[in-house]
């Protein structure tokens, strides 16, 4: 052996390797990855709101034998139960062989996604433009200019004066009408938009949804176009103007999930942050049979606006869930609940930023995640000096990464972006507040929070493998 070759082998031995999942993938593996993505795309098309995600997950879980927790008298190992909180937050639980008092394995994702909501008094008529429009208030961190001039659908619930619930989903069928935020033509945009800052090209109060352009055939009526829209809605759904204030109507892209690229290696779709983790943690727990420790996949609402509210990760949902589970072991004291949480461990399942080849400058490339290189273990999130970050302990990083190596889960470590570039948070810090050992762990996404987010099919499947390995694991 020459001296040169020896040196190389030392490098090989000591240096970190981070290779593309595709690199050595055989045909069978690629087929497995591609087949898995088909189910994921269907889920994205079905679940465009948090309510739809919960409904879809629970109906699939019921087919697999999951039962409402309060319908089970005495839990035993292998039992599959679920809890739903106000249609927007849910947990699937597979009872383990070890007592729950010794702690659980938890994968927590969020199923809300950035979107545009209606204001409480949305509908108005513009008499100069002769159109009816909805006033809106966006939800989460969107780049507003990305939402104009694309086909949009309206999903949600609305309650009538009598308290009758009406479910709405308009714009998803190819024969449905769609809705649009109309942008300004370039010919006349020189001053109005050209002199604005990039982030303000479209302002919040300019996201006015075009919903009608034809007048009602009635001489007495003043606001003819608005009234025509109200009449159509009343005929179809039995609702009236006042009902909009007792509604949750969400405006989302009307298009479906698609394969991206000639090789079809990526998925392009709305809502991948964070339904990519919602779906993969669902399919993971669906495959958990009789684990050592109790396994839980939990789906939170409101992460995109700070995890607030009684369906978000800052609520006491986890504490109450743990208390309900522990009742079956005869433990009802608050201490028992807190102690079981302290003995638990979690993956905060959320997406991280993949390198966008056109905007590499925002990353420290040595610490940025590559699309197609597996699930990302993100030790800390936060911004500008690790503020608002969970920052996982080295001991736990050691456990999780060794687990992934042992179970052959493709993974990489990553950080959101350059130190002073910006930042973002996840539910990790809210889960760890309960004493739960926690680290962020999810696939990379490009064009995050846009109406067409991009992810690698390899990373989607790696996430499923990672969450399954974790749910079935024991940290000795």
Residues that bind Mn ion (rule: CB under 5 A) add up to a total of 3
Which residue's CB is nearer to Mn ion, number 273 or number 472?
Answer: 273
Q: Which is nearer to Mn ion, 75 or 428 (CB)?
A: 428
Task: Tell the smallest beta-carbon distance from residue 429 to Mn ion (Å).
Answer: 13
Least spacing, CB of residue 353 vs Mn ion, in Å: 10
Min CB(145)–Mn ion separation in Å: 18
Interaction residues for Mn ion, span 33-52 (CB under 5 A): none
Least distance (Å) between residue 471 CB and Mn ion = 20
CB 278 within 8 A of CB 464: no
Q: Pick the stretch among 39-47, 147-155, 202-210, 271-279 that binds Mn ion (CB under 5 A).
A: 271-279
Q: 46 burial class (0-12, 13-18, 19+ CB within 10 angstroms)?
A: middle
d(CA 249, CA 168): 8
Smallest gap from residue 466 Cβ to Mn ion (A):
16
Q: Supply the minimum distance, in Å, between the C-beta of residue 42 and Mn ion.
A: 21
Nearer to Mn ion, 230 or 269 (CB): 269
Indicate the Cα dihedral angle 115, 118, 124, 129, nearest 10°: 0
CA distance 64 to 385: 45
Candidate ranges 84-92, 262-270, 344-352, 408-416; the one touching Mn ion (CB under 5 A): 344-352
* Nearer to Mn ion among residue 79 and residue 304 (C-beta): 304
* Cβ(111)–Cβ(281) below 8 Å: no
- Among 274, 301, 339, 437, which residue interacts with Mn ion (rule: CB under 5 A)? 274
301 binds Mn ion (CB under 5 A): no
Among 112, 206, 243, 273, binds Mn ion (CB under 5 A): 273
Stretch touching Mn ion by CB under 5 A, among 21-29, 118-126, 202-210, 266-274: 266-274
Residues 106 and 101: their CA atoms lie apart, in Å, by: 14
- Non-local (6+) Cβ contacts of 325 within 8 A are 69, 75, 93, 100, 104, 294
Q: Are 33 and 461 in contact (CB under 8 A)?
A: yes
Tell me the window of 17-25, 229-237, 345-353, 380-388 that interacts with Mn ion (CB under 5 A): 345-353
The distance of closest approach from Cβ of residue 424 to Mn ion in the complex, given in angstroms and rounded to an integer, is: 7
Residue nearer to Mn ion on the CB measure, 274 or 415: 274
Residue number with CB closer to Mn ion (72 or 305): 305
Measured from the CB atom, is 234 or 383 closer to Mn ion? 383
* 52 versus 350: smaller Cβ distance to Mn ion: 350
Binders of Mn ion among residues 73 to 92 (CB under 5 A) are: none
CB of 113 to Mn ion, least distance (A): 7
CA dist 254 and 176 (Å) reads 10
Asked whether the CA dihedral 18, 23, 26, 31 is positive or negative, the reply is: positive
Question: 350 or 459: whose CB is closer to Mn ion?
Answer: 350
For Mn ion, the closer of residues 54 and 229 by Cβ is 54
Which of these ranges, 219-227, 265-273, 290-298, 377-385, lies near Mn ion under the rule CB under 5 A? 265-273
Q: What's the min distance (Å) between Cβ of 274 and Mn ion?
A: 4
- d(C-alpha 351, C-alpha 441), whole Å: 7
Binding segment for Mn ion (CB under 5 A), chosen from 45-53, 124-132, 170-178, 269-277, is 269-277
Residue 350 lies near Mn ion (rule: CB under 5 A): yes
Q: Which conformational region is residue 362 in: left (phi greater than 0), alpha (psi within -120 to 50 degrees), or beta? A: alpha
Which residue, 336 or 440, has its beta carbon nearer to Mn ion? 440
Site string for Mn ion, 216-255 (x = CB under 5 A): ----------------------------------------
Exposure of 75 in the CB half-sphere (CA atoms within 13 A): 28
Euclidean distance between CA atoms 168 and 154, whole angstroms: 7
State the nearest-atom distance from the C-beta of 143 to Mn ion, in Å.
12
Please, what is the minimum distance in Å from the beta carbon of residue 442 to Mn ion? 8
Sites of contact with Mn ion (CB under 5 A): 273-274, 350
């Amino acid at each position: 052996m020459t001296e040169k070759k020896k040196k190389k082998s030392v490098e090989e031995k000591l240096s970190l390797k981070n290779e593309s999942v595709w690199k050595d993938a055989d045909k069978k593996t690629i087929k497995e990855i591609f087949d898995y993505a088909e189910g994921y795309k269907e889920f994205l098309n079905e679940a465009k709101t948090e309510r739809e995600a919960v409904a879809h997950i629970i109906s699939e879980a019921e087919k697999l034998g999951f039962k409402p927790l309060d319908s089970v008298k005495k839990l035993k190992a292998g039992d599959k139960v679920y809890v739903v909180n106000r249609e927007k937050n849910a947990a699937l639980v597979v009872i383990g062989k070890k007592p729950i008092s010794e702690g659980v394995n938890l994968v927590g994702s969020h199923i809300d996604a950035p979107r545009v909501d209606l204001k409480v008094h949305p509908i108005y008529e513009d008499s100069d433009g002769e159109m009816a429009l909805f006033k809106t208030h966006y939800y989460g961190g969107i780049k507003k200019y990305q939402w104009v001039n694309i086909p949009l659908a309206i999903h949600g619930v609305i309650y009538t004066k009598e308290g009758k619930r009406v479910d709405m989903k308009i714009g998803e069928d190819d024969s449905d009408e769609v809705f649009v935020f109309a942008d300004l033509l370039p010919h006349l945009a020189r001053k109005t938009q050209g002199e604005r800052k990039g982030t303000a090209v479209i302002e919040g109060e300019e996201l006015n949804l075009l919903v009608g352009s034809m007048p009602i055939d009635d001489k007495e009526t003043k606001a003819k176009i608005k009234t025509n829209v109200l009449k159509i809605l009343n005929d179809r759904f039995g609702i009236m103007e006042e009902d909009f204030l007792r509604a949750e109507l969400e405006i989302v892209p009307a298009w479906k999930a698609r394969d991206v690229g000639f090789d079809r290696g990526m998925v392009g779709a709305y809502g991948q942050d964070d339904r990519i983790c919602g779906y993969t943690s669902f399919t993971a727990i669906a495959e958990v049979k009789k684990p050592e420790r109790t396994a839980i996949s939990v789906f939170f609402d409101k992460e995109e606006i700070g995890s607030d509210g009684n369906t978000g990760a800052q609520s006491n949902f986890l504490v109450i869930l743990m208390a309900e589970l522990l009742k079956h072991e005869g433990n009802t004291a608050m201490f028992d609940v807190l102690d079981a949480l302290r003995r638990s461990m979690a993956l905060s399942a959320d997406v991280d930023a993949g390198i966008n080849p056109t905007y590499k400058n925002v990353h420290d490339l040595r610490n940025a995640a590559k699309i197609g290189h597996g699930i990302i273990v993100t030790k800390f999130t936060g911004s500008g000096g690790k503020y608002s970050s969970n920052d996982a302990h080295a001991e736990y990083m050691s456990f999780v990464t060794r687990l992934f190596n042992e179970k052959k889960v493709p993974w990489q470590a990553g950080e959101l972006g350059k130190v002073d570039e910006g930042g973002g948070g996840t539910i990790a810090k809210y889960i760890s507040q309960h004493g739960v050992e926690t680290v962020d762990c999810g696939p990379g996404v490009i064009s995050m929070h846009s109406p067409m987010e991009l992810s690698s099919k390899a990373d989607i499947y790696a996430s499923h493998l990672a969450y399954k390995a974790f749910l079935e694991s024991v940290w000795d």
